[in-house]
Amino acid sequence: MRLIFLGPPGAGKGTQAARISERHGIPQLSTGDMLRAAAAAGSPVGLEAKKLIDAGALVPDEVVVGIVAERIEEPDAAKGFILDGFPRTVAQAEALDRMLASKGLSLDAVIEFVVDEGALLDRIATRAREMQERGQEVRKDDNPEVFKTRLEAFRKQTAPLSAYYAEKGQLEKIDGMKPIDEVTRDLVALLEKKAG
Ligand code: AMP
């Protein structure tokens, strides 16, 4: 199964992708995690990306597309994958379409997490607090100031993807405001329906 999880920062994509990944035995491919790993490793691309991530801006399409192209070639992605945080621009979506078409593959679904924007800042604050309590380093971009920029990037650059995938008949929506377990239940039901 090849899935895309779409939605603003704090919508719950990562949390749900981890659960569905485990249930279906397919990897969760988070471009945010991959870019943070590249930054932590100190590679030139990673360090360049870090500046943009910390500022809440998107990393250039060609960088992210290159990372995803390599990652989906890995053996664990052969059975499928969940893209979490990619694509984030129409150009990335087009590149992904070309990538998949060249392999004779297609997407099974693009799932949009529909959330009330007013709740997102609270969720991000909760994530920052929980990471701190677990002794993990809090993400620099999980603060109210940078969050505004991330939300703006989402509205301008990522939100148009809903129409892009709706036109292709691939878009499914899920209510991301429900409690975490209920969202998982809805997702599982949706994927079962898709699998027929
Ligand atoms: P995330 O972990 O998905 O919230 O992503 C954190 C940050 O990584 C974003 O704010 C961007 O700076 C960068 N990033 C992650 N995925 C992408 C992408 N598909 N395109 C561009 N930038 C990305």
CB 110 within 8 A of CB 172: yes
Give the global pTM: 0.95
- With a Cβ cut-off of 6 Å, ligand 1 is lined by 9, 31-32, 35, 52-53, 56-59, 64, 85-88, 92, 141, 150
88 is catalytic: yes
Q: Which of 4, 34, 35, 64 to mutate to test the pocket of ligand 1 (most atoms within 8 A of CB)?
A: 35
Confidence of residue 168 (pLDDT cuts 50, 70, 90): very high
Strand ranges across the sheet with 2-6? 28-30, 81-84, 2-6, 109-114, 171-175
13 is catalytic: yes
pLDDT at 139: 87
Could you give the 3-state DSSP secondary structure of residue 177? coil
98 is catalytic: no
AA identity, residue 37: A
Per the omega criterion (within 30 degrees of 0), is the bond before 87 cis?
A: yes
What pLDDT digit, counting tens, does each position of 50-88 carry? 999 999 999 999 999 999 999 999 999 999 999 999 999
Q: Distance between CA 109 and CA 118 in Å, rounded?
A: 27
What pLDDT digit, counting tens, does each position of 4-55 carry? 999 999 999 999 999 999 999 999 999 999 999 999 999 999 999 999 999 9
Instruction: Single out the catalytic residue among 2, 36, 50, 88.
Output: 88
Q: Closest by alpha carbon to 108, among 178, 32, 168, 157?
A: 168
User: Could you tell me the CATH superfamily of domain 2-191?
Assistant: P-loop containing nucleotide triphosphate hydrolases (3.40.50.300)
pLDDT at 42: 96
> What is the 102 CA–ligand 1 centroid distance (Å)?
25
pLDDT at residue 123 greater than cutoff 90: no
Q: For residue 13, how many C-alpha atoms fall within 13 Å in the half-sphere facing its CB?
A: 28
36 is catalytic: no
CB 58 within 8 A of CB 89: yes
Segments making up each domain of the chain, as ranges: 2-191
